[in-house]
Chain A
Amino acid sequence: MNEVKKHTGFGYVVKSLVSGLGLTWRHFKNARNRRTPEYVSDENYFKQPDGMATLKYPYEAIPVPDNGRYRLHNEIDDCIVCDLCAKICPVNCITIESVKATEDIGMTSDGTKKRLYAQVFDIDMAKCCYCGLCTTVCPTDCLTMTPVYDFAEVNIKNMVYHFTDLTPEQAEEKKQLLAKQQEEMAAAKAAALAARKQG
């Protein structure tokens, strides 16, 4: 068994007291430098033994990992309102109400045809568990995780994010258009049926 060597004596005590002072003095001197906020994969991460470690948080932040899961963002222009995300969400925090489009409403950036308007596209970030399932199922990759993690709110209602680009009036208008079109189609169908019956 190794015996721990006990140091005693005046000289040793003075030496250790002085070396303690030296230690704090060294840190005091090095406090002119600051460690840079580096992500752990950065090669500098482990090479900064000296300097102040404080991160002035709201002004500076350590970069987040690329595959980190933070606040969701929906690029509504690219969303085809397929409702897949709402279906997969384990906590049901995505609310989608869709309206069928009456005319051609263009394509998403990856060339998928859009056929539905999102009358409502709400994500309740207060309920979201940041599992990321919705982003994996999204066929057009429009629902993504952003690096934003500091979005606390005073009022919990503000945690519900509205992504739709339609105002309620526009949505109402689209609904009426759809209803009219469907009426017309029904009328046309009825007319065709009647014509077939007669003929």
Chain B
Amino acid sequence: MLAFLLTLGALLGVVIALAYAERKVAAFMQDRMGPTEAGPQGSLQAVADVLKLLQKEDIVPAAADKGLFKLAPILIFAAVFAGFAVIPFTPDLVPAGIGIGVFYLLAIISLDVVGLLMAGWGSNNKYAMLGAMRSVAQIVSYEIPAGLAILSVVMVCQSLDFQEISYQQGALMNQFPGLEYEMNWLFGIEALGINTTTIGGITTWNIFRAPILLVAFIIYFIASLAESNRAPFDIPEAESELVAGFHVEYSGFRFAVLFLAEYSMMVLVCLVAVVLFLGSWNTPLPNIGPVALAYWTSGTPGEISSILWGIFWLLSKTFILLFLQLQLRWTYPRLRVDQLMHLCWKVLTPVALAVVLIAGIWRLLMI
């Protein structure tokens, strides 16, 4: 229960910061100023927006399927929020440390799609229905390259436990029960003869442990943009051309929940990217001989120092990825539907399959 409340609180804070950052970053990239009036530098703008949404009248269309309509936002948010349960925030802190975290995450996120369909169908509005169809088609398609990219990580790490995957990517690896005698080699190849187990830092991140995962990371990142309906894959919403997608009939509190779910999804996919590819809560600084930068910047597991360092590194990496998501949105034009599907089925999926194959071979080299 405590973990639930803490995660929810932290998530709300991050989402508010993200909504504010989105406006400011967008403005700066377009030589504008963004919000300046509410609070210093407009920092209370996102809070004000939420308060405005909460005050609005709760409108349920007369012809809507009331049950579905009311349930959909909650289901969408719950599906995304449930994903946070398995994310390891520090070496010791996982809201729910289950051994098949990766599998659970992929499964629970897919529930989102059901919520989207419920919202679109329940609104009894053809535009909402079309929007939901597009959203769902997009998310379902892009789950395949994303899933394959994650699969290659799982093959390299030989684990479905996010915490174990995290430990493998740092100098603290041998402290994880079951990994006491594991070794990390540079690029994962023992024949090179460079043992990086105690060097840690960036050299043990998954994208370095098995460089093919760099390709997997790029595939996952592109697919995750599409899964969270972010530009350049935001056809379902396309707010510059359409009113909205599946949530066209929603207003007030229900819209706020959908909005929250969307931003939570962004945070979640970035967290997963960091955990799987970019060293999770591990420091990027390696130990260089006597200068034990990695140990100094990780703290001792079980103590408060490791919690603080872990949270710090995890969040900084996540924020860098989130910034990249924002920057992509304000840089690239939106893809057409056919281009979107072309990219998914004819480019990303074949490449992801090849990556899975190479990752398997790599794993053989690593032993």
Q: List residues of A whose CB falls within 8 A of some B CB.
A: 17, 20-21, 23-25, 27-28, 30-31, 51-54, 56
Contacts and interface: CB of A to CB of B under 8 A. Distances in A.
Interface in B20-55: 25, 27-33, 36
Interface in B77-134: none
10 contacts: A21-B327, A21-B328, A24-B327, A27-B28, A27-B31, A28-B327, A31-B28, A52-B27, A53-B31, A56-B36
B331 interface: yes
Contact of A28 (B25, B328, B332): B25
A20 B31 contact: no
A54 B327 contact: no
Contacts of B28: 27-28, 31, 52
A24 B36 contact: no
A173 B332 CA distance: 76
A78 B33 CA distance: 46
Given A21-B327, A28-B327, A31-B28, A52 B33 contact: yes
A19 to B, nearest CB: 10
Contacts of A31: 27-29, 31
Nearest to A23: B331
Query: What secondary structure prevails in chain B residues at the interface with A?
Result: loop
B332 A27 contact: no
Contacts of A28: 25, 28-29, 327
Query: What secondary structure prevails in chain A residues at the interface with B?
Result: helix
Contacts of B331: 20-21, 23-24
Contacts of B33: 52, 54, 56
A52 B31 contact: yes
A56 B35 CA distance: 11
A25 B327 contact: yes
B21 to A, nearest CB: 12
7 closest Cβ pairs, A-B complex? A31-B28, A54-B33, A24-B29, A24-B331, A20-B331, A53-B31, A28-B28
B29 A27 contact: yes
B330 interface: yes
Given A28-B327, A56-B36, A17 B332 contact: yes
A20 B27 CA distance: 17
Contacts of A56: 33, 36
Given A31-B31, A52-B33, A56-B33, 7 more contacts: A20-B332, A21-B331, A28-B28, A51-B31, A52-B31, A54-B27, A54-B32
A170 to B, nearest CB: 46
A27 B31 CA distance: 7
B36 A27 contact: no
Contacts of B29: 24, 27-28, 31
Contact of B30 (A17, A20, A21, A27): A27
A8 to B, nearest CB: 14
A25 B29 CA distance: 7
B124 to A, nearest CB: 40
A24 B32 contact: no
Contacts of A51: 31
Nearest to B33: A54
Nearest to B324: A21
A54 B330 CA distance: 18
Nearest to A25: B327
B31 A24 contact: no
Most buried by A among B25, B327, B331: B331
Nearest to B32: A54
Contacts of B25: 28
A46 to B, nearest CB: 16
B327 to A, nearest CB: 6
B35 to A, nearest CB: 11
